[in-house]
Amino acid sequence: MNWKKRLAVCSALTLLVLMMVPMLTAGAQVVTAELDVQVNVINGSAGTAQRSDFQFQLNGGAATNFNANGVNQITGLDVSVPYTVTPVDFAGYTSHVDDNIPGITCTNVTLDPATPAFCRLTYTFIEPETTTTTTTTTTTLPPTTTTGKVGQTTIHGSGSDLNACTTALDPNLQPPGKTDITVTVATDASPQPHFGDPITLSGTSLTLNIPATLLQTGYDAGLIKDGDQVPSTITLTVAGSNTTQQTHNFVIKTTASISIKGGKAQPLKSTVGLPNTTWTPTSGTADVFFSEQAMKIVSVVNLPGIGKVTVNFKCDPRTSAEFVAVGATGTVSTTLPPTFTTTTVGGGGTPIGGSAGGASELPRTGSSPWPLFVLAAICIDLGLLAIAGAKRLRRPLHHT
C-alpha cells in the first residue's frame, strides 16, 4: 500500500474515533438524584430567628443557608456517593438531626434516582433561665390533714414515669446517646377539693432505681473505682395544670460516691425529700393535675487517660401522667392530665403567678441518700465510654 492510501486509511479511522467519542461519553453519564433538606425552627417563648438564618453542610462542605420556606432541594447528586447532612451551630439555639423519625434520613444517605430523599434538622430556642436557688436548709413540714372549709382533706398520690434521656459529653468523645431512667414522685396534696384555694404539696419525695449493670462496665474497664467522687447538679421540673405557676424547678446539688464491693458494683435505689410548694388554681372549677415535665443532670468526672468529662442528661417523661390530682369541687373525674402551656420569665425570676414557679435547691450534705443516683446516671455513659477509654489507656495521649 503506498503512502497516499495509508494516509487515507488513517484519516478515516481518525474520523470514526472522533464520531464515537460523544457516543461513549453519553453512555458513561453519571446517574443523579435529589436530596431535600428541611429546617424545623422552634422559637419557643422569645425566639425570633427565621428559617433562612440557619445553615447546613453536605458531606462537610461549605455552609449553605436554608431557603425562606425552609426547604432546599439539592439536585444533580451522584447516586454512587453516600451523603450526610449536618447542622451548623446557631447562637441561642440547640440543633438536632431528626434521623430517628421514620422517613427522615440525614446520615450516610444512599440516593434513589426515582425518589428524592428527605432530611430534616430541628433548631430549638434556648429558653431563658427561670431557676432560682437558695443555700438554706429545707425542712419538710408534716402535711395538713384538714383545712378551713368543710369537706376539704389531704390526699396522697404517687406515680412513676419512664424517662427517655439523651446524653451528651463534653469534650465530645462520642456521639450523643440514649437511655431510660425510671422516675417516681410521691406527695401529699391539700386541700381536696380545692374550691379555688391555694394547693400545697408536702412530704414530696423523688425516687430513682438504677441497676448495678450500668456501673459494672465502667469499673471493669478501669475507668472508675470504689470511692471515686462525682459532683453533679440535678434539676427536676414538675408541672401543675390549671395553675398560675404552671411549673416549678427543684434543684439538687450533690457529690456522688462510687460503691464497689468485692469487684461488684452495687445496685442503687435512691430517694430524696423535696421542699413544700404552693400552687394557685386558675379557677374554682378546674381540676389540677401534677406531673413530671422534665429532668436534667449535669455531672463531672475525671477519667484516667482522658481527664475531666462533663456528662449532660436531658430527660423527658414518656407519658407525663399525673402523680397526684386535686379536684375543684369533688373527686377528680379523669386520670389523664389536660394539656397545659408553660409561661416563664427570664433573668432568674419566678414563673408568672407566684413563688411556686421558682426552684428549690437541696443543700449539700454528707448524709444525703441521694448521691449514689447521680453516680449511676453518669455511669450510663461511662459504660458507653468503656471501650473507647480502654483504647486510650493503651496508647499515649497527644496534646496540642
Query: Per the domain annotation, does 3 fall within a domain?
Result: no
Query: Per the domain annotation, does 23 fall within a domain?
Result: no
329 neighbors 288 (Cβ within 8 angstroms): no
Between 266 and 76, name the one with better pLDDT: 76
**Sheet containing 55-58, strands listed edge to edge, beginning at the edge strand earlier in sequence:** 64-65, 55-58, 85-87
Whole-number pLDDT of residue 15: 60
Whole-number pLDDT of residue 217: 72
What total number of domains does the chain contain?
2
Q: Which residues contact 360 (CB under 8 A, 6 or more apart)?
A: 134, 138, 248, 249, 250, 251, 274, 275, 277
Residues 91 and 224 in one domain: no
Whole-number pLDDT of residue 280: 96
Is-cis flag, bond preceding 191, omega within 30? yes
Residues 109 and 169 in one domain: no
Q: Which residues of 57-74 are buried (b: 16+ CB within 10 A; e: fewer)?
A: ebeeeeebebeeebebeb
Residues 115 and 179 in one domain: no
Residues 63 and 179 in one domain: no
The answer, yes or no, to whether residue 353 has pLDDT greater than 50, is no
The answer, yes or no, to whether residue 379 has pLDDT greater than 60, is no
CA dihedral 287, 292, 293, 298 (to 10 degrees): 160
Instruction: Report residue 214's pLDDT band, with 50, 70 and 90 as the boundaries.
Output: low
Whole-number pLDDT of residue 368: 36
Whole-number pLDDT of residue 263: 86
The answer, yes or no, to whether residue 285 has pLDDT greater than 70, is yes
Query: Per the domain annotation, does 336 fall within a domain?
Result: no
**Least confident range of 103-107, 141-145, 245-249:** 141-145
The answer, yes or no, to whether residue 319 has pLDDT greater than 50, is yes
Instruction: Report residue 344's pLDDT band, with 50, 70 and 90 as the boundaries.
Output: very low
Instruction: Report residue 347's pLDDT band, with 50, 70 and 90 as the boundaries.
Output: very low
Q: Fill in the amino acid letter for 362.
A: L
Enter the pTM of the model: 0.51
Query: Per the domain annotation, does 204 fall within a domain?
Result: yes
Residues 103 and 183 in one domain: no
Domain that holds residue 62: 35-125
Residues 120 and 243 in one domain: no
Measured CA to CA, the distance from residue 313 to residue 70 in angstroms comes to 30
Residues 112 and 182 in one domain: no
Residue 47: give its domain's CATH number: 2.60.40
Whole-number pLDDT of residue 53: 97
